[in-house]
Amino acid sequence: MEAYAKAKWVGYPVNKVRLVMELIKGKDVETAINILNFTPNFAAKSIMKTLKSAVANLIDNNRETAVDTNSVFINTMYADEGPTMKRFKPRAQGRATRIRKRTSHIYIKVATKE
């Protein structure tokens, strides 16, 4: 059994999201949530919300069979780059520099061990 969850337009750059994802790739869900709880990176909160949503989707999609949450693990997980918001900041001598506010899309797929 498999299920997935997506979080789009997360307000963190994709390289910082990928750093946190490397910590939990391939682990079971309980271990991954414990790791994310103690990770001081801001992106860990968004990844944890997406992971919990994927587990809830797995339970919801398989109502007729009992899903043992202890046997759920992360099957596939990646982050893609989202749209970049472009802003300008005034600088000295009448100049302006571009500020790029980068976003990312998070995709997590969970499965049960069969």
Q: What is the tens place of the pLDDT at every residue in 52-84?
A: 999 999 999 988 888 888 889 999 999 999 999
pTM over 0.85: yes
CA distances, 88 to each of 93, 97, 102 (Å): 15, 6, 14
Q: What is the tens place of the pLDDT at every residue in 80-96?
A: 999 999 999 999 999 99
Domains and CATH numbers, the chain: 2-112 (3.90.470.10)
CA distances, 45 to each of 42, 70, 103 (Å): 6, 21, 15
The pLDDT > 70 percentage for the chain reads 100
Local confidence band at 113 (pLDDT 50, 70, 90 cut-offs): confident
Nearest one of 83, 81, 73 to 109, comparing CA atoms: 73
Per-residue pLDDT, 59: 92
DSSP letters, 38-100, are T---THHHHHHHHHHHHHHHHHHHT-SS---GGGEEEEEEEEEE---EEEEEE-GGG-EEEEE
**Residue owning tokens 């780059």:** 81
Q: Is the pLDDT of residue 114 over 80?
A: no
Per-residue pLDDT, 62: 87
